Amino acid sequence: MKSLSLLLSASVAALTLVSSGASAQDKNLTVAWYGGNWGDAFQACVAEPFTKETGIKVTAEIGTSTTTLAKLQQQASAPTIDVAYMDGGISELAQEAGVLAPIDLSKMPNAANLSEKAAYKAGNDVFAISGGYYSLGLTYNTKEIEEAPTSWEALWDEDYAGAVTIPSPSNSAGIPFIFFLNKMLGGTPADMSATFAKLKELDANMFFDSSGAASNAFQSGEVIIGAHFNVGAWALADAGLPIGFTVPKEGVWATDARLHLVKGSKNSEAAEKFLNTAMSAEAGQCLAAKLYLGPAVKNVELTPEVSRKLPWGEKGSVDDLLLFDWNEVNAKRSELTETWNREVAR
Amino acid sequence: MSTSRIAVLGLVALPAAFFAAFFLVPLATVLIASIMKDGSLTAANYTRILFDTYHWEVLATTFRLGLLTTVICILLGYPLAWYLVRMVRWKAWRRICVILLILPLFTSNIVRSFGWMVLLGRNGLVNESMEGLGLIERPIRFLGTETGILIGLVYILLPFVVLTIGNALARVDRSVEHASADLGASPASTFWHVTFPLSIPGVVSGAIMVFALAVSAYVTPALLSGGRVTVLAMLIFQQYSSVFDFNYGGALAITLLAFTLAMIAAASLVSRLGAR
Amino acid sequence: MVLLAVDNVSKSFGKHQALRDVSLTIEPGEFVSLLGPSGCGKTTLLRMIAGFLQVNRGTITIEGQDITHLPPHKRPLNTVFQNYALFPHLSVLENVAYGPRRAGVSKAEAASRAREALDLVGLSDFSSRYPRQMSGGQQQRVALARAIVNKPKLLLLDEPLSALDLQLRKRMQIELKEIQEKIGVAFVFVTHDQEEAMAMSDRIAVMSGGRIEQVDIATNVYARPATRFVADFIGEASLLPVERQTLRVLPEGSTGDAMAVVRPEHVSVLASPPAVRDGQLTLDGRIETIVGIGGATTIYVRAEGHLILARRLGLAGSDLSEGQPVTVAFDREAVHLIDGAAS
């Protein structure tokens, strides 16, 4: 008995220690962002300058956009996250779920740099600002395909049969990509049957769930052409692999990583400052250099080498990106996923 | 005295709380979500599943893969377990074998599945060597087929079978095998009439474990199918991760659970009847 | 004709020599016990006869046929194992029918033979039970029935009664002997219990340190031990160094040319005045301890440095007490001489 009560009191002591440790963080901001090289880039380009400027430490909460949204919903009453990075699409869902606080751009001097469409509004309130754009472009193996294809039709080229990849609906780009193809093929949002018929003809090697799976398939040579994010494709190319990324004549669909203030955050002032740092030209330049994220702020100076790897390609600009209304995409998500399951994934 | 009473209370309450927190609450959450839609109670999520041949096809694929994985795991795992328990004389070598067997379990499923993607791919080791040997002219498609998923599942789940069967074999009293030989049974006859029947509990528990893990596996089928073959776990993941329909997703999860439990119950009933 | 012949068999496990040049023959229908302390090699010998251990050197033959290198399942003998080794997944009837079935007998015929064997051990009503549902004594009978159902010429029993309590063990000894006589099978019975061996065996092979010290009928092993080990191991005895010619007992520590074995029941303890009969050997000493165990009393007398045991039926009586000077006396005929004086 004695040893048991000892054990119990020891665990109580341990719990107390943990909770007191948690409350001891005064000058600290918790920011949710993604794992891997994305998280590293946000750390280097935004969090570090922010800490340097304000002395406030940044604690990273790593997770995908979906995971972050789930956390925000669970913690709605007492959030531990102050700022959340989430992708377009999930951003709208978070807004709908009521876990976001409105962003007052007038309090942030750098907001003047922000391009107009990079502030997302629900009614009159800004609920998200863009942290940089990325696109799903045509990615190919330069060893197998010497000249950059000019059209998405190349995916259906017989030469590449069985070695093609596009995102599955489980990937955040999956449903928007169907919208994109539908637009390209002249379908209407109400009738996508022609698009699905075309998708059915596609002799795909795989439909990727995660961008890592796509990178892996390109790297191993399993796939020689497909839709892949500029971020992932150029990372492969930079690693010395024979991978090219191009924006075909039909354009590319793109989305962005967005920053959000969390409703009920106890560090809202620090959080606003963090957003301000994120909107600086330096942060934009840094993220463009590290991830090839297309800056959402103006006046960012870039080297030609970085410039050509941005989501809009060598000659384009932010205006060339096809940014769908995510509310429209989300409304069709369930239906299109089911159609995909029945028509394509079998 | 009162501290000891608190201790006793803790002794009872802690496991109960643990069980509730980690098993009952999540399951109940899923179950409740599965019978709700737009805020009211409904069976619609289930009728949507059960009155749709598409779902039955996915269920069939899921359970076909589960059964094949189980059968192949046992066919491969039994001789391996036998080798480990009965043939290996040198203790250090046995320890190395067991470590080699268990080690992959400490690495991520994702990593191991990616490994298979490299091996089974168009330019993978398997196809390259078969082409090199002149066995095939064009690469065989493994990825994106049930065969590919099957290979991955067998590889990932094999250790469980080897461990449970090995454990059962190690517990077979060698003196009953001696008794069998003493009564005139040849080694093969002793195996079929004594050793194998006595190892069946290990086979059954290994089979149940593998079957349950195989039908609920997500990572391996998702990666090795390349999204071209759909199992129920992938549908569930899709609903939870991108469609956000927790009601329909929950109903799919409960359906998978119910079918799995029914299969296991049927299997244990059959094996119990067979044992009589 | 000799049934079993073990000829100069040796066995070692690594550096440990478990058996050294052991030879033994068994006649048909004979009951022979292998008796010795644990580690003496008796179980090793039994396992080599059964075929579970390989022989290093020497041969084993049954009815003239060399079985030294035959696998166990080809040997014409059966074994009752120490822990019974019943098949836990088979019913009692299936356990007993196992042997006939493996010999290719039809299911119905095997069942009928099994019933017959179960009948013999008094378990006909238990055929549908499972081993785990039975007591130790019942399991032991099942093991016996299973071992005799194929009517072997030779049955090996490896301490089959050691797990039973004393009462049951005594009863089983009698039953086992009866069954053995009824079916006329030769038994090789391993035991470390000398009373058990004495009660049941036609002959006893006393083993020690991997050797057979003596093989003889029970009364001879007791009355005429061949070696000092046998004299010491079987029953109680006073071992005294003597001069072979005169039978004069030499004091403790000296070396005579022979060793006298005197059983305690042949020793009289006489209070003074000594009433020594003619021709008896006597020694003067002092009583060290008196131990009464109800039916008999053992008196330990220290004489010439030796501790001499004497036994009387009943209680010690009032004439003797510890520390008392006494004379011990025994007949010359009661003395058994073994060679070699010391140790």
Mean pLDDT for back-to-back runs of 10 residues, chain B (276 residues): 74 83 87 87 90 92 96 96 90 88 84 83 86 85 90 93 93 93 94 94 92 92 89 90 87 93 87 65
Does B238 contact A169 at a Cβ distance shorter than 8 Å? Answer: yes
Note the pLDDT of residue A237.
Answer: 93
**The total number of structural domains that make up chain C:** 2
Q: What is the pLDDT of residues A288-315, one digit of tens each?
A: 999 999 999 988 888 888 988 999 887 7
Q: Per-residue pLDDT for A4 more than 80?
A: no
Note the pLDDT of residue A26.
Answer: 56
Q: CATH no. for residue C39?
A: 3.40.50.300
Selected residues 151-210 of chain B with any CB under 8 Å from a CB in chain A: none
A121 within some domain: yes
Q: Per-residue pLDDT for C59 more than 80?
A: yes
The answer on A74 and A217 residing in a single domain is no
The answer on C290 and C222 residing in a single domain is no
Note the pLDDT of residue B117.
Answer: 81
The answer on C249 and C193 residing in a single domain is no
Note the pLDDT of residue A17.
Answer: 40
- Which pLDDT band holds residue A12 (cuts at 50, 70, 90)? very low
Q: CATH no. for residue A74?
A: 3.40.190.10
- What average pLDDT does the structure give for chain A? 88
Q: Out of A31-45, A296-310, A314-328, pick the least confident.
A: A314-328
Domain boundary residue, one of C229, C252, C278 = C229
Is C194 within 8 Å of C235 (Cβ atoms)? Answer: yes
Q: Rounded distance, CA C46 to CA C60, Å?
A: 11
Q: Could you give the domains of chain B? A: 52-275 (1.10.3720.10)
Bridge partners, residue C188, by sequence: C32, C156
The answer on C313 and C220 residing in a single domain is no
- Exposed/middle/buried for A325, CB within 10 Å: 0-12, 13-18, 19+? exposed
Domain boundary residue, one of C229, C249, C272 = C229
Q: Rounded distance, CA C149 to CA C158, Å?
A: 18
Question: A327-331, long-range: CB within 8 Å, 24+ apart, which pairs?
Answer: A327/A92, A328/A179, A328/A189, A329/A89, A329/A175, A329/A176, A329/A179, A330/A89, A330/A92, A330/A93
**The total number of structural domains that make up chain A:** 2
The answer on A336 and A249 residing in a single domain is yes
The answer on C253 and C173 residing in a single domain is no
Residue type at A278? Answer: A
Domain of A223 in residue numbering reads as 134-254+324-343
Q: Rounded distance, CA B86 to CA C176, Å?
A: 36
Note the pLDDT of residue A18.
Answer: 41
The answer on C299 and C220 residing in a single domain is no
The answer on C168 and C47 residing in a single domain is yes
**Chain C residues closer than 8 Å to B198 by CB:** 88-89
The answer on C271 and C161 residing in a single domain is no
The answer on C246 and C109 residing in a single domain is no
More confident residue, B117 or C58: C58
The answer on C123 and C164 residing in a single domain is yes
Tokens of A144: 């197998």
Note the pLDDT of residue C318.
Answer: 63
Q: Out of A124-128, B138-142, C117-121, pick the least confident.
A: B138-142
Please give, rounded to a whole number of angstroms, the shortest distance from the CA of B260 to a CA of chain A. Answer: 22
| pTM given for the model | 0.79
Identify which of A310, A325, A336, A300 has the alpha carbon closest to the alpha carbon of residue A133.
Answer: A310
The answer on C260 and C212 residing in a single domain is no
Considering only alpha carbons, which residue of chain B is nearest residue C82?
A: B175
Mean per-residue pLDDT, A55-70: 91
The answer on A328 and A184 residing in a single domain is yes
A38 within some domain: yes
B63 phi-psi bin (left φ>0, alpha ψ -120 to 50, beta other): alpha
Note the pLDDT of residue A16.
Answer: 40
**Chain B residues closer than 8 Å to C50 by CB:** 178, 182
Chains near A with 3+ CB pairs less than 8 A apart are B
The answer on C181 and C94 residing in a single domain is yes
Q: Does any CB of chain B come closer than 8 Å to the CB of residue A334?
A: yes
Note the pLDDT of residue B18.
Answer: 85
The answer on A339 and A221 residing in a single domain is yes
The answer on A96 and A183 residing in a single domain is no
Give the distance, in angstroms, between the CA of residue A98 and the centroid of all CA atoms in the same chain: 20
**Chain B residues closer than 8 Å to C147 by CB:** 182-183
Domain of C132 in residue numbering reads as 4-229
Domain boundary residue, one of C229, C260, C278 = C229
- Which pLDDT band holds residue C329 (cuts at 50, 70, 90)? confident
Phi, psi (rounded to 5 degrees) for B32:
-65, -45
The answer on C166 and C310 residing in a single domain is no
